[in-house]
Amino acid sequence: MTVDLKGRIALVTGASRGIGYFTAIELAKAGAHVIACARTVGGLEELDDAIKAVGGTATLVPFDLTDMNAIDALGASIHERWGKLDILVANAGVLGVISPIGHIEAKVFEKVMTVNVTATWRLIRSVEPLLVQSDQGRALILSSGAAHKCRPFWGVYSASKAAVEALARTWAGETQRLPLRIVSVDPGATRTAMRAQAMPGEDPETVPHPSEVAAKLIPLCGPGLTETGKLYVVREDKLKDYRLPE
């Protein structure tokens, strides 16, 4: 499916690698101007080169998502320059540790919640006024199957993603009468650095490359997305209602 995003402004967090990196490229290929956020300046510069190579444009914003003041300032800067935001891809996140709940250090638990949950809420708060200025605002909130499976030893990551989905569902309900459409995204197993950290013995060639996942997200960023408050499961390539473990 070809999606025309010419003239659209898209914000992608965690854009220096993995799903965020390739989603930013796909958005640029579709014509959107990409505001790319990440901690790693070198990764953002590589992304900028890749976007230019496909004929796109980007604005690089290097900052750490634990910097809440920077998140607040981001919304203000976007408003000053463009006056609106059309697409949000809230992709950035951290795994923490695979460990029994009782063995997780407080600082690790708090960092996962800060990056995955608090920063996502702060980002929503910062850019919602901009998204509602768009005639077809779209927000993709990256989640995980871990939010539903709640496997042993995945407690902190599972809890953070369950919280992120709750934020997305609530936000969708609050804005359902507006043109803004909001979905959570379960990308499934993907060949990323986070996956390698979680599954050190896995052959990376056995799971999809992040570029494959990114390509499936672009239709959710265009006018074809009419539903809100749903969960998009990449491996099934469809929107679903939020569900309990099967």
> Annotated catalytic residue: which of 21, 157, 232, 242?
157
What is the number of residues in the chain? Answer: 246
Q: Mark out the alpha helices in the chain (DSSP H runs).
A: 18-29, 41-53, 68-81, 106-113, 119-131, 146-149, 155-174, 193-198, 210-217
Rounded to whole angstroms, the Cα distance separating 121 from 140 reads 13
Question: Does residue 21 have an active-site annotation?
Answer: no
Strand order in the sheet with 33-38: 57-62, 33-38, 9-13, 87-90, 138-142, 181-186, 230-233, 238-240
Structure tokens at 43: 């990764």
Phi/psi for 64 (5° steps) reads -95, 135
Catalytic annotation, residues: 157
